[in-house]
Structure 1
Amino acid sequence: MDVPSKYTNDAMVRSFRKAVKLSDSQLEEQIISEPVREDEFATTVNTTQPDYFYIYTSG
């Protein structure tokens, strides 16, 4: 199922990162969060290192 992301700009990513911690405090700075294009769908899965995932929204 293709689901568009609401994290399409730096401000949305920053507000998400302020509200949600993705790891313990010692590793949080190692996690990369970046916006996607407004028309980009969050369906990509990385099967090799480094691990990453997309956040799905009901948009």
Structure 2
Amino acid sequence: MKCPVCQQEMSVWKVDTSHNSKTGKQYDRMLYHCAQDDTWAKTEIPKSSKTIPNVVAAQ
């Protein structure tokens, strides 16, 4: 991600997972920092919903 002030590439400062407690959705969150301008930016991208297949135990 480019810094909106100096247009240089910002470094990734932190990567984690966030969630919305009302909907239960999870997000990949990245926090960026530009040391030159002390500018911060955050992105939160929804995680794709993966369906777990039903597994039937053998009898």
Give the TM-score normalised by the residue count of structure 2: 0.24
Structure having the larger proportion of residues in strand: 2
Larger Rg: 2
Structure having the larger proportion of residues in helix: 1
